[in-house]
Chain A
Amino acid sequence: MILILNEKELLRKSLEEGYIDEKKTSNTIRILAKHYFSIDMTKEQVYDSIDKFFINNYKKYNSVKWKIGFERTISAVCKYKDHTLYDINSVEITEKELIRIKSLENIKYEKLAFVLLIYAKIYNLMKKNELGIVKIDQKYIFSDAKVKENIRNQGIILHTFEELGLITPSKMVDSTDVKVNFIDKDSPVVLEITDFRNYVYEYLRWKGENIGICEGEQCHILFISSNVSHKYCKDCAKKAHNQVKRNTWDKNKDKYRTARQTV
């Protein structure tokens, strides 16, 4: 998930621990700017506060080089009147929505439709409306759905969705926004997504496929389980394997050392 759903948590981390999103520093700048504007600071005060924050917490920071970037982000945030930070913890999916997705009878299409639905619901929560407009580049939609296609095929698949009435593309020629048409809030909630890592597997789990929950410490990510003994996700499996190796070494270290000395 490319969107930041829990800005409040990130702000807390930044203010208390000096956390900076190194992959995309503009995320941290934007969240800080939102926070400072919400406490009635002026543009200049916001700039100074963010500048001070980066001087204290970021080694690679160069106040001269970053000046234009800072000013651009601050001006963009300033334009919006609403500076409340997003705090989205869950998204609810209803029965009718899932049945509509299942009726596509093509696993690739189903996964994509599910991801589009999640994004539309997140955008509704963010913008506080019911329009169901997804404003994200299609590459992220395909990446979240774990469907590998080139740009042309991605467009053709979305065109099929348009023909089926699932989405409506924007009339603006240079806009990639799409409106999701199959949101149905009236039927009962069947699924609640709280963890947005590999969330497409929630749909597969609902369909009855073999999806496991990682047993690694504080991980609990969903993964496609190949058999009953499959307990960990890829990363945790590596850690667990190394731990087993370390334990075996600790257990038998005397034996190994004496064997080495005799050689």
Chain B
Amino acid sequence: MIDVASSFDKESEEYKELQYRIICGQNYQQNAIDRIKGCISKPMPKEWYDYRFAKNTDKSELNIKILADKKPYFFIYNYPYLMRRYKKYMSDVNKNCLIRFGLDVKELIEKEDRNEDEEQFLKYYYIKMPVFNNNSVMNRICWKIEKEFDGFKSIGTKEEDIFDSSILKSPTKYSKKRFTDIKSIYEDYNIKLREHAQNSSKSKIDKDEEKTKRIVFKDNFKKQAQEICNNEDELCNIVVDLCYKNNYSKQFAWDICGDVIIKNLLARNNNIVQYPIADDKGDIEFGGEKFSMFVKNLNEIDMEEEYDIDIK
């Protein structure tokens, strides 16, 4: 209702009526909660949110005008089903618009001298849209964020293509049979993950629950993989080849054998690591602070640790 109200002038009858309904809505909401305790309560009038009822009232014109039968645009990020419906609607409308007018919807909206057919098309485009895209505060914030992130996903895909994954591996060799065995359990894992993703996209599943399920799948894979190949260097090489030579998730390789990958990377660099430390005289600027690069040989750290243990 707040979203619908944003499309009317503050002094208008529609705006005032909607403000009244918003206040009443809060009361109806509280009543609905109390209803569970056994109280008798009045539900929200159906003509406020249902077209069929709004049509059959005395003030049908006003009721239809301010009908709140859809969710506002930004809700597509809250409900996966709404996002799906919105995307499908936009894709279909664009196709229809292109066939009829040779323009997509965006171009048609920007077109200045529209004919009757085009006006009619746009009228129904807004009516049939599964969400309200009024100029409400939340919708405007949503569009601003969308604009900021527009095209963000495509960054970095080319760099991945050039990446040489052999630096993550050790010189250990593996047999073809072991590779195919690991690949088959990896494919099983992918099927399970896909099924889980499909289920969670249909319903709103808690993020922590989703995370735990993924961890369970990964642990199962680890167990099965270790039964086939108990050499961690060999397993790491197989998993790296599986994930980096295909379009599979790279995160998976790091989750399964991240520690071995780090070990391999260190071995290639003589166990020397470089890392930035906050330093006022440093030559690297980041986040308003200055940093300097420090070099540490991990072989020396190991020796120091051993020495400490001996003293204790």
Q: Which residues of A contact B (CB under 8 A)?
A: 60, 65, 138, 151-152, 154-156, 158-159, 162, 167, 169-170, 172-176, 178
Q: Which residues of B contact A (CB under 8 A)?
A: 89, 92-102, 104, 121, 124-125, 128, 191, 195, 199
Ranked nearest first, the 3 interchain pairs of A and B with the lowest CB-CB distance are: A155-B98, A159-B102, A169-B99
- Least CB separation from B105: chain A residue: A173
Contact B100 A159 (CB under 8 A): yes
Q: Inside 8 A of B100's CB, which chain A residues have their CB? A: 159, 162, 169
Contact of A173 among B93, B98, B191, B199 (CB under 8 A): B93
Q: Inside 8 A of B93's CB, which chain A residues have their CB? A: 173-174
The CA of A178 and the CA of B94, in the complex, are separated in Å by 14
User: Do A151 and B99 contact each other (CB < 8 Å), given the known contacts A173-B121, A174-B89, A174-B128?
Assistant: no
Q: Inside 8 A of A60's CB, which chain B residues have their CB? A: 191
Q: Inside 8 A of B94's CB, which chain A residues have their CB? A: 151, 155
Q: Inside 8 A of A173's CB, which chain B residues have their CB? A: 93, 96-97, 121, 124-125, 128
Q: Inside 8 A of B195's CB, which chain A residues have their CB? A: 65
Contact B98 A158 (CB under 8 A): yes
The CA of A162 and the CA of B128, in the complex, are separated in Å by 24
User: Do A151 and B95 contact each other (CB < 8 Å), given the known contacts A159-B100, A159-B101, A173-B125?
Assistant: yes
Q: Inside 8 A of B96's CB, which chain A residues have their CB? A: 169-170, 172-176
Contact A155 B99 (CB under 8 A): yes
- Least CB separation from A169: chain B residue: B99
Contact A176 B98 (CB under 8 A): no
Contact B104 A152 (CB under 8 A): yes
User: Do A175 and B92 contact each other (CB < 8 Å), given the known contacts A65-B199, A152-B104?
Assistant: yes
The CA of A5 and the CA of B99, in the complex, are separated in Å by 27
25 sampled A-B residue pairs with Cβ under 8 A: A138-B95, A151-B94, A151-B95, A152-B104, A155-B94, A155-B95, A155-B99, A155-B104, A156-B98, A158-B99, A159-B99, A159-B101, A159-B102, A169-B96, A169-B99, A170-B96, A172-B124, A173-B96, A173-B124, A173-B128, A174-B93, A174-B96, A175-B92, A175-B96, A176-B95
Query: Which of B96, B101, B199 has the largest count of A CB atoms less than 10 A from its CB?
Result: B96
Shortest C-beta distance, B11 to chain A (Å), equals: 33
The CA of A156 and the CA of B191, in the complex, are separated in Å by 38
Shortest C-beta distance, A161 to chain B (Å), equals: 8
Shortest C-beta distance, A21 to chain B (Å), equals: 17
The CA of A156 and the CA of B101, in the complex, are separated in Å by 9
Shortest C-beta distance, A113 to chain B (Å), equals: 14
- Least CB separation from A175: chain B residue: B96
Shortest C-beta distance, B114 to chain A (Å), equals: 14
Q: Inside 8 A of B104's CB, which chain A residues have their CB? A: 152, 155
Query: Which of A155, A159, A175 has the largest count of B CB atoms less than 10 A from its CB?
Result: A155
Q: Inside 8 A of B125's CB, which chain A residues have their CB? A: 173
Shortest C-beta distance, A155 to chain B (Å), equals: 3
- Least CB separation from B127: chain A residue: A173
Q: Inside 8 A of B92's CB, which chain A residues have their CB? A: 174-176
Q: Inside 8 A of B97's CB, which chain A residues have their CB? A: 155, 173
Contact A162 B124 (CB under 8 A): no
The CA of A162 and the CA of B195, in the complex, are separated in Å by 42
Shortest C-beta distance, A58 to chain B (Å), equals: 14
Q: Inside 8 A of B98's CB, which chain A residues have their CB? A: 151-152, 154-156, 158-159
- Least CB separation from B89: chain A residue: A174
Q: Inside 8 A of B102's CB, which chain A residues have their CB? A: 155-156, 159
The CA of A176 and the CA of B199, in the complex, are separated in Å by 28
Shortest C-beta distance, A62 to chain B (Å), equals: 8
